[in-house]
Amino acid sequence: MGSKTVDKALTMLRTLPRVSLKNIRDNPGSKMTQKRGRGQHGGDYHGAGNKGSGQRQNYMRLGYETGNRPFYLRFGFEPYYERHHLRRQYPPVSLLQLQTMVDTDRIDISKPIDLTTICNTGLYRIFPDQHQFGINLTDEGADTFQAKVNIEVQWASELVVAAVERAGGVITTAYYDMHSLQCMINPTKFFERGIPIPRRMIPPTDAAEYYADPSKRGYLADPEKVSEERLVLSQKYGYNLPVIEKDPDYEMLTERKDPRQIFFGLNPGWVVNLKDKVILKPLDEELLQYYNS
């Protein structure tokens, strides 16, 4: 929009006849018209050929090679992708995309960023029922990443961690189970159901190692060891580690969720009533014990 062609077209229209129902048309060639030849030899067999499978649609079964041992049976079974349908998937977001979201005001970096923030931009979708377990922050645009963020993702490589920390930010990798993810991707829809916010489950055994690893910035790792690893990584990649203790946004940068918490500022067991704009908290001892465990 706004190009010179538009102005030119609109200027031309001033002297052209009035655009009305009788002089509009689609672009020539934009619609394929159905062609079926008629007449004596117009379309003798209409593309089906003479006799055989073409005419009778009794095609050979898929993969059959008219007597050869078929390709799909020629080699032994090599299960490279065994259980792939059960593996956890992490749809990617690159650092470049994240930086663009920040620059175009889709994300407010004065607050901690988590999966909900990214989903709210409308540019990222995940489907927890298809075994997608959150964001994989990838390293495209690592050289130009400059936003100082407190971000929580579900998977990140070493280079990505280095890029975020070089810019003065903080990154955490955190696990969310399927039900927690379902609440996070559309909080309004979840709150409208009127059920209490569930507890976040602890990671399964095969993911526990990753999320307890300080070098992966896991949310279950010891904070002391994480700060040690931050220094180690800065020396490995050769940048000066910004001191977040002296940062004016220190409080924002050190804000973390509880391992059982799904939303910032909301605890498990609470019910958010959007209509009356109130939050209902459990008082019963048994409930409190259940949600705090």
Stretch that binds another protein, among 6-14, 55-63, 84-92, 194-202 (CB under 8 A): 6-14
Q: Which of residues 163-202 bind another protein (CB under 8 A)?
A: none
Q: How many CB atoms lie within 10 A of CB 171?
A: 21
Q: What mask, x for binding another protein by CB under 8 A, covers residues 134 to 163?
A: ------------------------------
Residue type, 23: N
* CA–CA–CA angle 193, 194, 196 (5° rounding): 115
Number of residues near another protein (by CB under 8 A): 25
State the DSSP H helix or E strand holding residue 150, giving kind and residue range, or none if neither. strand 150-153
Instruction: Tell me the closest approach of the beta carbon of residue 10 to another protein, in angstroms.
Output: 4
Q: What mask, x for binding another protein by CB under 8 A, covers residues 61 to 100?
A: ----------------------------------------
CB nearer another protein, residue 26 or residue 284: 26
Pick one of 10, 62, 243, 283: the residue that binds another protein (CB under 8 A).
10
Pick one of 48, 88, 100, 123: the residue that binds another protein (CB under 8 A).
123
Q: How far, CA to CA in Å, does 248 sit from each of 161, 223, 241, 254, 271? A: 21, 20, 16, 12, 34
Alpha carbons within 13 A on the beta-carbon side of 184: 32
Instruction: Tell me the closest approach of the beta carbon of residue 83 to another protein, in angstroms.
Output: 23
Is 4 a binding residue for another protein by CB under 8 A? The answer is no
Q: How far, CA to CA in Å, does 142 sit from each of 88, 112, 147, 155? A: 25, 20, 11, 15
Is 19 a binding residue for another protein by CB under 8 A? The answer is yes
Is 33 a binding residue for another protein by CB under 8 A? The answer is no
State the DSSP H helix or E strand holding residue 280, giving kind and residue range, or none if neither. strand 278-280
Cα-Cα-Cα-Cα dihedral sign, residues 268, 274, 277, 283: negative
Give the whole-angstrom CA distance, residue 214 versus residue 193.
Answer: 37
Pick one of 1, 60, 62, 243: the residue that binds another protein (CB under 8 A).
1
Residue type, 56: R
Binding footprint of another protein on the chain (CB under 8 A) = 1-2, 5-7, 9-11, 13-14, 16, 18-21, 24-27, 30, 106, 121-123, 125
